[in-house]
Amino acid sequence: MTGAQMIVEALKREGVDVIFGYPGGAVIDIYDELYKTPEIKHVLVRHEQGATHAADGYARSTGRVGVCLVTSGPGATNTVTGIATAYMDSIPIVILTGQVPTKLIGNDAFQEVDITGITRPCTKHNFLVKRTEDLPRILRAAFHIARTGRPGPVLVDLPKDVQQGKAEFYWPEDLKLRSYHPVYDPHPRQVERAYRLLESSTRPVILVGGGVIASGAHEEVKELAERLNIPVTMTLMGLGGFPGTHPQSLGMLGMHGTYYANMAVANSDLILAVGARFDDRVTGKVDAFAPMAKIIHIDIDPTSIQKNVRVDVPIVGDCKRVLEKLLEIVKEVGRPEKIWREQFKEWWEQIEIWKKRYPLSYKQEGEYIKPQFVIEKLYELTKGEAIITTEVGQNQMWAAQYYKFDKPRTLITSGGLGTMGFGFPAAIGAQMGNPDKMVIDIAGDGSIQMNIQEMATAMEQGLPVKVIILNNGYLGMVRQWQELFYERRYSAVKFQVTPDFVKLAEAYGALGLRATKIEEVEPVLKQALESDRLTLVDIHIAPEEGVFPMVPAGRATTEMILV
């Protein structure tokens, strides 16, 4: 086979059914083979960043590896933001980049760039293929590394002569990578230690992170929480890992978390953290984080344990398998649920006091539409059954607070990197992977403009994605910080020119709708949700509405600004 034929054959063997890409001279041979391969659908994006975000959205919503294909030079460098986004959130994608012929590498050839060097810090692994005969082995390894252990992006750089060369095709079914052996099963003694801490605690909290969703451990989390009657809080990436409507759910914690989640963590005597990184948005001031709590930390990535906070019981392993072992001990010991309930009775009474004192709330007053009202109405109309993608900023936090995520893989958002422009192309990827589901991008008028060219992609593919633009005329989150901490010196956050989103939608052949009054919100949302094509809804919200609660950067999570 030629190298290009090998690449397409490898994609088929890995079960790839859709690939997001943008052609160029350095990958034209691969595109010629894709032309002959109808079983792999190619989605032509309008910018390479859109390709990586779409592959990312596909992966997050399906649990499968997302794939994108771009040309060399600027095509490759345009993927870097999307690669870093996937890396920070542990998302399995494979990025195939064209490269100049091997003999020209290092000679500053046309559209040459050292993309493996550029992406080394933000990929789980990357490869520069130098021989055609190595292609099957490397592509097999790329998919294996991307999806196993702590998932992540893997880049494969493909010189043109490697694509055009010929060699014998050999597919390695039994792949052995000498230095790559993720640990899935936990050490039994560590699991026993974790159980003993749970049994002796009086104020425990389960902290659910994105690892619960990656490993499919949501049912085990729910069973453990219910059997032991323990409150559960989630990171942004963990939303959906435990039902948001469950009576034991405290919602999200951290910088824009609920008052009661932050207070519960701060006053707990034990935190069972499952697949969470303890990043700064969750911990606030690290020295003041959960000062009375012992911490059990379950994670498949040993480098994530003890990185940010001290840990009393580290457990390296797959979240699902660790929780299965922990549940086995719970069942073997056979401690009655009545005893667990009695043990945490006072703890729950205190949590209920916090819930009543400061619930999530907002004031719907005056003529302005409040964004929280829009999210609540969207949740009501969709019955919580939609896949929600978000852009980044205030729109993202309002969605996290007011849309209740009961199922995993229903919130698709850029957590670690906070990438504006992520939500819309990610929605395209999610819709491609879930053609029978409702996919909605909750956006801000700033973020949506960063990749709005992908409207052409959505229209070309006939995707009925819904985009709800919370339009406040500002870069809202930066404006909020300037209001609170910079004496309202609004520097470079007010949009002087904003497109007419309704006309823009119509220019692409999509449906454009607008709401400027409270009474227009529900009928406009209903019309959008009933639409069978790409629909943009421009909702003019209160210009200076803030996201609260809010923990100022560098402060303890108990130092919340509530209104």
Q: Annotated catalytic sites, by residue? A: 48, 110-111, 160, 477
Q: How far is CA 389 from CA 275, 410, 448, in A?
A: 21, 8, 12
DSSP 369: B
Token code pair at residue 224? 């453990």
Cα–Cα distance measured from residue 194 to residue 314, given in angstroms and rounded to the nearest whole number? 9
| Those residues with Cβ within 8 angstroms of residue 134's Cβ, 6 or more apart along the chain or in another chain | none
**Collapsed DSSP state (helix, strand, coil) of residue 482:** helix
**Collapsed DSSP state (helix, strand, coil) of residue 196:** helix
Q: Are strands 232-234 and 204-208 parallel, antiparallel or unpaired?
A: parallel
Q: Are strands 249-252 and 232-234 parallel, antiparallel or unpaired?
A: parallel
**Collapsed DSSP state (helix, strand, coil) of residue 175:** coil
Cα–Cα distance measured from residue 141 to residue 136, given in angstroms and rounded to the nearest whole number? 9
Please identify which residue in the block is written with the tokens 């909702």. Answer: 539
Measured on CA atoms in the order 119, 121, 123, 128, is the torsion positive or negative? positive
Token code pair at residue 519? 């009474």
Q: Are strands 439-444 and 466-471 parallel, antiparallel or unpaired?
A: parallel
Cα–Cα distance measured from residue 447 to residue 417, given in angstroms and rounded to the nearest whole number? 14
Q: C-alpha 198: how far from its chain's center?
A: 30
Counting every residue, how long is the chain?
A: 563
Is-contact 213 237, C-beta < 8 A? yes
Is-contact 48 75, C-beta < 8 A? yes
**Residue 254 backbone class (left: φ over 0; alpha: ψ -120 to 50; beta: rest):** left
Is-contact 36 65, C-beta < 8 A? no
- Give 547's strand partners: none
Alpha helices in 43-187 (DSSP H): 48-62, 74-77, 80-88, 115-119, 135-147, 160-164
Token code pair at residue 39? 């079983």
- Count the neighbouring beta carbons within 10 Å of the beta carbon of residue 520: 15
| Those residues with Cβ within 8 angstroms of residue 108's Cβ, 6 or more apart along the chain or in another chain | none
Dihedral over alpha carbons 130, 58, 92, 407 (to 10 degrees): -170
Dihedral over alpha carbons 482, 488, 493, 496 (to 10 degrees): 170
**Collapsed DSSP state (helix, strand, coil) of residue 232:** strand
Please identify which residue in the block is written with the tokens 């490993």. Answer: 215
Token code pair at residue 255? 């910088």
- Count the neighbouring beta carbons within 10 Å of the beta carbon of residue 19: 24
